[in-house]
Structure 1
Amino acid sequence: MDTHSELGEFLRVRRAALQPEDVGVLNYGIRRVPGLRREELAMLAGVSTTYYTRLEQGLSTNASESVINAIARALNLDDDERPHLFDLARPGKGRRRVPAKPDNARPGTLRLIQSMTSTPAVVLGRRSDVLAWNALGHRLVAGHLDYTAPERPSTRPNMTRMLFLDEHTRELYARWPEEARRAVASLRLVAGKSADDQELASLVGELTLKSQDFAKLWAKHPVENCMSGLKYMHHPEVGYLELNFEVLTPPDESGHRVLMYAADPGTPGAEALQLLQTAGNIESDARRTPAGRATR
């Protein structure tokens, strides 16, 4: 991805979202464009209009930390958007190289999620490829897919691709627009750190061409580090679930994440998860029973 154009797009989108009254700028009548003018943003940041214009046009990639911080303050960026601006404005500084070899979950991570029999868990790569899932995680998010699909890079599901292009996954989320924005915001954050990742660029290109919903959201440049929250699901087997989710990130350079789901005790969601686990256990027992032999 071209970080120069990404930087310009991010600055333009955020500048357009700011109204003069939001930042104490006097508004003199009708404006031809939404949001702040370039010269107003430059004034708030304490830089010249010419210099700020060069940043928006992607013509300057050596902005100092103080300048980037000043622009972040002027744009009212939050704690997720601010480091994203640094990634775009200073490409290469502190950026991890994306490994060329196929991504695989660590054996220790696999052992961990397989031991969590009552907690749905999914291991994701930096691009949201599914590297592994436990039995309950598979039944929760993609029971219509082969359980062994993550083991092969050629058939490995991608959570963002499924969300926008797979109708079963789309129907799974009771609040799909909320889930879609969260997925794009997370992908934007990754893209800012991985400008040299051709597979990520290919994924974004595919989704932009095949999904108008994705293209519209991507153009808005949302940025959010989604580490916890609520997911609202309507599962085809057990009905409506309201689940907490938590994302754990291993302290290595892999960019992997372990996504786990849990319901509050005594809630319909907890009962639904229990039903889903029970149904999965019955199915597994049936597969292990030799043909023609009765179970006791």
Structure 2
Amino acid sequence: MAEYLRVRRGRIGPADVGLPTGPGIRRAPGLRREELAALAGVSVDYYTRIEQGRETAPSDAVLDALARALRLTDDEHAHLLALADRAAGRSPRRRPAAPRPVGPGLRLLLESVRPGPAYVLNETNDVLAANPEGLALMPGLDDWPPGRRNTIRYTFLHPAARTVFADWQRVARNCVAHLRTVEPSAPEATAALVAELSAADERFAALWDRHEVLVKRGGATAFDHPQIGRVTLPNEILTTPDHGSRLLLYQAAPGTPEHDALVLLSMTAEGAVAPRTDGP
């Protein structure tokens, strides 16, 4: 929480909140502690204790005031509250349900949305299940053993990701912001993935240090795919609270070039499945 507040304070300037910059050159970018404290209506000493980690249980009213002063979005505000809960030793307020194995209902859903690529993901984006189009949309993902398949790991560590995502920088930034968001509710899994990716890719480490947060709610992703070419696919994210997982679905309206591309992807995926040879 303390580090998050320091980073966010450094990313908002006096002019952003209607304060004069004053004479002289500032030694560091962003608001001074006394400026943020004044905007939030708390004493400088109290805010300093929070930012130095000596005050670990500020009230929700104080946190709300700091969020307003820092111009945090709703997602960023929720993240600050979650960090405060963890600092105070409280259970996260958005505690997820315990994960369960992917049941037959979700597996049937993966089949029913074909040719739309679809995945069942846990909080940290481990791929718990996927349909053939989902594996084909991210070339090389199925080369990894099931326990290693993770869309964030794929984005940073698989060489195919740098070309298959037409706007890799945007995808990478969103991945890291999502991981920051779920950190308070999945600290152990997040820490393990962050340690692995930070050691392997300095770009991940730099993005992680930005402390950006994002709750993924669907959107569109542009792909430059070796089989279906350049295509932008809308996606939806459906939560399954009883299983502690999410369904990520890419889709396109029938009759559109994007849907034709998905049909081609499905044909490619089916063709990649080797026939069974149970006997002569």
Specify if TM > 0.5: yes
Say whether residues 1:258 and 2:247 are aligned partners: yes
- State the partner residue of 2:119: 122
Q: How big is the shift at 1:145?
A: 2.0
Q: How big is the shift at 1:276?
A: 0.9
Match of 1:226 among 216, 219, 239: 216
Q: 2 CA distance for matches of 1:209 and 1:143? A: 22
Say whether residues 1:184 and 2:173 are aligned partners: no
Letter in 2 for 1:107: P
CA offsets per residue over residues 113-170 of structure 1, 9 Å max, x none? 12222211011111111100011111112455249x43xx3xx311111110110122
- State the partner residue of 2:135: 138
Letter in 2 for 1:179: V
CA offsets per residue over residues 24-50 of structure 1, 9 Å max, x none? 111112211101001100100001111
Contact 1:63 1:90 in 2 (8 A): no
Letter in 1 for 2:206: K
- State the partner residue of 1:207: 197
- Over the matched positions of the two proteins, sequence identity in percent amounts to 45
Q: How big is the shift at 1:13?
A: 1.4
Say whether residues 1:8 and 2:2 are aligned partners: yes
Q: 2 CA distance for matches of 1:97 and 1:79? A: 19
Say whether residues 1:37 and 2:32 are aligned partners: yes
Which residues of 2 match residues 59-98 of structure 1 at below 5 A? 59-91=54-86, 92-95=89-92, 96=95
Q: 1 CA distance for matches of 2:7 and 2:264? A: 45
CA offsets per residue over residues 158-217 of structure 1, 9 Å max, x none? 11111101101222100000000000010000002233x2x3211101111111110110
- Unpaired runs of 5+ residues, structure 2, are none
Q: How big is the shift at 1:283?
A: 4.3
Contact 1:103 1:125 in 2 (8 A): no
User: Counterpart of 2:235 in 1: which secondary structure?
Assistant: strand
- Structure 2 vs 1, CA of residues 205 and 224 (structure 1 numbering), >3 Å: closer, same or farther? same
Q: 2 CA distance for matches of 1:287 and 1:194? A: 40
Aligned positions, number: 275
- Unpaired runs of 5+ residues, structure 1, are 1-6
Letter in 1 for 2:264: L
- State the partner residue of 1:248: 238
Q: TM-score, normalization: structure 1?
A: 0.86
CA offsets per residue over residues 6-65 of structure 1, 9 Å max, x none? x12211111111110111111112211101001100100001111111111122221111
Larger displacement relative to structure 2 (138-147 or 156-165): 138-147
Letter in 2 for 1:19: G
- State the partner residue of 2:156: 164
Q: 2 CA distance for matches of 1:268 and 1:143? A: 24
Larger displacement relative to structure 2 (212-221 or 117-126): 117-126
Q: How big is the shift at 1:224?
A: 0.6
- Structure 2 vs 1, CA of residues 179 and 11 (structure 1 numbering), >3 Å: closer, same or farther? same
Q: 1 CA distance for matches of 2:79 and 2:155? A: 24
Larger displacement relative to structure 2 (137-146 or 255-264): 137-146
- State the partner residue of 1:4: none
Letter in 2 for 1:145: D
Q: 2 CA distance for matches of 1:72 and 1:246? A: 29
- Structure 2 vs 1, CA of residues 212 and 229 (structure 1 numbering), >3 Å: closer, same or farther? same
- State the partner residue of 2:258: 269
Match of 1:26 among 12, 15, 20: 20
Q: How big is the shift at 1:291?
A: 9.4
Q: 2 CA distance for matches of 1:106 and 1:16? A: 46
Q: 1 CA distance for matches of 2:279 and 2:264? A: 26
